[in-house]
A and B are shown apart, each in its own frame.
Chain A
Amino acid sequence: MTDAGPADRPSGAETPTVSLRKPRLNRRSVLGAAVAGAAGIGALRLLALEHVQRALPGAGTGEGRPDWLSPLGSEPARVMHLLRRTTFGAMLADFEQAASEGYSKTVDRLLETKTAPPPPLPAQAARNGRLNVGALQQWWVDHMLRTPTPFAEQMTLFWHGHFTSDYRKVGLQTPFMYWQNLGWREMALGDLRSMLLRVTADPAMLRYLDLATSTGRNPNENYARELLELFTMGVGSYGEEDVRSASQALAGWTAPNPRSVDWEAPQQGTFARARAYNGGPLTFLGRRDAYDTGKIVDRILGHQASALHLARKVVQQFVATRVDEPFVRRLAERFRSSRYDVKTLMREVLLSPEFLAGASYRALVKSPVEFMVHALKALGAPQLSRLVVAHAPNMGHVLFDPPDVNGWPSNEAWVSSNNVMARVNFVTAALAQLRSLPAGTQAPRHVDTVLGPQTARLLSEATDDRTRWFLTLASPEFQLK
């Protein structure tokens, strides 16, 4: 492996951090260093790096750190970008198929292919009526790694962070967390109204946000508040009276008795009228009516806030960390006029000029699970799924155990000193378990062969495949999508 610490780093234009040596920086000297860096990157193209087709002289805007040079003008790069964001990264065969089909056909295929169901839960994940969380996590990661329809898994992961629940509160003496996962996969590209009716009566959610113990007389507000704040409208578009009314109208749902259920036959909660609200009129979002669950959901969806809230969240997950409001409004209108059809929303996103704009290139940070799954796919090593489960906690991305009811953070929130180190350690651990590796010349393909100056230089100096894979998977480029 190449050692190029600051002490023995060759002085040269390719290292903007030359500024490190200057005791006092001013703005001019930093900019100068960056520009010199950009020039140096260009020079790298002259090096014998046949696999680096485009070694990034992204000159940025002329001020500040250079930006990535978007390769999205070319069809293969667009297809790669699409697969990176919708399929946990592509294996060579996937890429070749998509590249020959072309971009829009690939979008169609992603959206229209029937979801491959995951295999049944293995026996060790549900022994004696008790869920083994590690085995459940591995079951899902295995499926992410091997499924022929990874887009469904990306969407399931998205909904798992949105309509989230955690196993700690839901409990392990029930199949409820497993059922919830099956539910979001099944409904991943369905319509929001059905999802909202489903999530309200979802047994895991009934426990996680306490609706199972709420009553019309003395409601528990937990579910009603998060339904409005996180699942649909967003904070600021409703008032405290709406939370109170919704919590009264929604009370009465009960989770199935876990002792008398078939683990492979998911059920919904049932409505217990005795605990429900007495049915008298309530004021909710400005209208007085006798509300029940269906009417609450319809009233919410009659308001434009939910479409905006969901569109914004989808943009941050799939397009860019900075949300372009006109784009969000456009998506929201389409979403609403399609009767909240998620497939329509996703098609609109993936076919939008914004998705393929230069500003969207490498504008998202992979979540830890996305990063680890992509890395193992790139290495052709789905058998290492246990490593994903083992390394997730130190990156703060434990499946079925989100940090709070808001699910997981995104993008820049994933970048901390702890987490950049933890990602490198995952790569080290994965490589250490593999005796043979795919050809190292393949590695940069997973980062579009658009490389920063340091990555390009180190890769060009690498003399063996192990080092090439390490540098690629541990690189900042690979952390982005």
Chain B
Amino acid sequence: MPDETGINQLRRRDFLRSGLVFGAGAAGLAAGYAAVPDAFARGVYAAKTNGVVNDRVLVMIQLAGGNDGLRTVIPLQDPRLHDLRPRLGEMSVGQALPISADLGLNQSLKRTKALWDRGRVAIVQGVGYPNPSFSHFESIRVWETGDPSRRQVNGWLGRTLAANYDSLGHPLTACACGSTGVPGALRDLQATLTVINSQKAFGFTGGSEVEAAVGALYRATPGIYGALFDTAMATAQEAIASLETARSKYQAKAEYSDRQELVFASKNQLAAALQLAAELIVTGTGVKLLHVTLGGFDTHYTELARHDDLMAYLDSAVGAFYEDLTAHGVADRVLIATWSEFGRRPRENASGGTDHGAAAPLLLLGDPVRGGVYGEAPSLADLDATGNLKFTVDFRSVYQEILGAHLGADPKEILGGSFAKLGFVKAPG
């Protein structure tokens, strides 16, 4: 694409959307576009032409594998924790960073604690959903689609994108940073988004000649994947151009480091991904929805050191990100929210780890947050039949607040219902 942001954004957008719908249209469905069976039924031109216009940005951080809530926001006064976790409990409590008489943050969350002290951290206790799945993949899908009934196939952020921002028109409206594939939360057939694994490697090594050739090659591609390919290539080309501009305008104002020694975690680029997110935000690319992932939370085995390391990595990367945004004067627009498919079993196992659990606390950070603890921590004395914590806050309550109070979108349209209000986002202004 010769022009990165200038002309014909709307036209490009229309083309991209039409192309996508084409891919899943009657022919696509007949040939079996399995991933998106209901896309066509939702209507070709359902997306709004006038979407939400504000400067709010959301950054979702996925803690993949199931983060241990009881070692993230730690109950300090509950003796049952020691009974359930003879090896994991004591250390966690003894070294926790207290935030109240009853609660402490994991000892590694030092910068997060400093943000807490400044009222920039909200903790939502006991987040989960009814009849929890203990399968990573099924529970990830529930969280990604925002649908515990497992019927919805599009991601909750993908639907948000399609319904609210699509017509604004460029593929960097939503971006998965530090990933090679589209995260399920952002997936929607009518939404276009960018996936950037590594900023350094994002671009055509063959230069403009190659770029022009593939631009011509990926057009009107037939078949069930045709629109997907064409859109992915057009998106890549536009994003490369935007990124080039952004790169020249951005200077990091914080120390990002991925040198954290992690046992087992296969993705070790959270800080780089957040730095890319910061670059996209501060240089005015128009990015609204960002998604990054840190893996390694499936701590069935020798959890103590591993989980502390993961917390330290998260703390350092998010700390740098927040500092960078603040130094660039944009922190007031950016909400950072963590999510994980489930918490972990209160009782530890033979391997010094914990098995798949259910409810867990979520952390939300940033200037748009009204600091404090929301919701009720589930009781360790009242576990369910599988020995897990009973949820007290539906995860869609958290989504609802993010969508409505922060992004200014209509949560009911996205989530298909209303949920209990929490109030962790400040009123704008």
* Residues B266 and A166 in contact, CB atoms below 8 Å apart: yes
Of the candidates A65, A415, A452, the one whose C-beta lies within 8 Å of that of B25 is: A65
* Residues A429 and B12 in contact, CB atoms below 8 Å apart: no
Chain B residue contacts of A58, Cβ below 8 A: 222-223
In chain B, positions 1-33 with a C-beta closer than 8 Å to chain A are 1-2, 8, 10-12, 14-15, 18, 22-23, 25-28, 30-33
Chain B residue contacts of A405, Cβ below 8 A: 136, 298
Bound state CA distance, A22 and B212, in angstroms?
22
Whether a CB of chain A sits under 8 angstroms from the CB of B343 is no
* Residues A412 and B225 in contact, CB atoms below 8 Å apart: yes
* Residues A404 and B226 in contact, CB atoms below 8 Å apart: no
The count of residues in chain A whose C-beta lies closer than 8 Å to any C-beta of chain B is 97
Of the candidates A5, A213, A412, A420, the one whose C-beta lies within 8 Å of that of B212 is: A5
In chain B, positions 220-274 with a C-beta closer than 8 Å to chain A are 220-230, 232-233, 235-236, 239-240, 263-267
Chain B 349-387 per-residue mask, 1 if CB under 8 angstroms from chain A, else 0: 111110110000000000000000000000000000110
Whether a CB of chain B sits under 8 angstroms from the CB of A114 is no
* Residues A220 and B353 in contact, CB atoms below 8 Å apart: yes
Chain A residue contacts of B134, Cβ below 8 A: 225, 240, 243
* Residues B213 and A395 in contact, CB atoms below 8 Å apart: no
Bound state CA distance, A474 and B218, in angstroms?
9
Whether a CB of chain B sits under 8 angstroms from the CB of A422 is yes
Bound state CA distance, A359 and B29, in angstroms?
11
Whether a CB of chain A sits under 8 angstroms from the CB of B209 is yes
Chain B residue contacts of A23, Cβ below 8 A: 10-11, 14
B: interface residue count bin: 35 or more
Given A225-B134, A404-B64, A474 and B181 contact (CB-CB distance below 8 Å):
no
Chain B residue contacts of A480, Cβ below 8 A: 223, 225
* Residues B264 and A67 in contact, CB atoms below 8 Å apart: no
Could you tell me the distance in whole angstroms from the C-beta of A417 to the nearest C-beta in chain B?
4
* Residues B25 and A64 in contact, CB atoms below 8 Å apart: yes
Given A9-B216, A20-B11, A23-B10, A218 and B350 contact (CB-CB distance below 8 Å):
yes
Report the nearest A residue to B239, measured CB to CB. A417
In chain B, positions 116-171 with a C-beta closer than 8 Å to chain A are 133-138, 171
Chain A 469-481 per-residue mask, 1 if CB under 8 angstroms from chain B, else 0: 0110011100110
Could you tell me the distance in whole angstroms from the C-beta of B268 to the nearest C-beta in chain A?
10
In chain A, positions 348-368 with a C-beta closer than 8 Å to chain B are 359, 362-363, 365
Could you tell me the distance in whole angstroms from the C-beta of B176 to the nearest C-beta in chain A?
8
Chain A residue contacts of B1, Cβ below 8 A: 5-6
Could you tell me the distance in whole angstroms from the C-beta of B325 to the nearest C-beta in chain A?
24
* Residues B351 and A476 in contact, CB atoms below 8 Å apart: no
Chain B residue contacts of A86, Cβ below 8 A: none
In chain A, positions 54-81 with a C-beta closer than 8 Å to chain B are 56, 58, 60-61, 63-68
Chain B residue contacts of A240, Cβ below 8 A: 134, 385-386
* Residues A363 and B301 in contact, CB atoms below 8 Å apart: no
Could you tell me the distance in whole angstroms from the C-beta of A27 to the nearest C-beta in chain B?
6
Given A64-B26, A68-B223, A428-B205, A404 and B216 contact (CB-CB distance below 8 Å):
no
Chain B interfacial positions (CB closer than 8 Å to A): 1-2, 8, 10-12, 14-15, 18, 22-23, 25-28, 30-35, 44, 64-65, 133-138, 171, 179-182, 193-198, 201-206, 209-210, 212-230, 232-233, 235-236, 239-240, 263-267, 295, 298, 300-301, 349-353, 355-356, 385-386
Which A-B residue pairs are the 6 nearest by beta carbons? A322-B32, A396-B180, A64-B27, A4-B216, A213-B351, A417-B236
8 A-B residue pairings within 8 Å (CB atoms):
A3-B216, A5-B216, A61-B30, A210-B301, A220-B353, A222-B301, A419-B232, A425-B206
Chain A interfacial positions (CB closer than 8 Å to B): 1-7, 9, 15-17, 19-25, 27, 30, 34, 37, 56, 58, 60-61, 63-68, 166, 168-169, 209-210, 213-215, 217-222, 225, 229, 235, 240, 243, 251, 320-323, 359, 362-363, 365, 394-396, 401, 403-406, 409, 411-422, 424-425, 428-429, 452-455, 458, 470-471, 474-476, 479-480
Given contacts A68-B222, A417-B235, 10 further A-B pairs with CB under 8 A are A5-B215, A30-B18, A64-B28, A322-B32, A363-B224, A396-B197, A401-B266, A416-B182, A425-B201, A452-B222
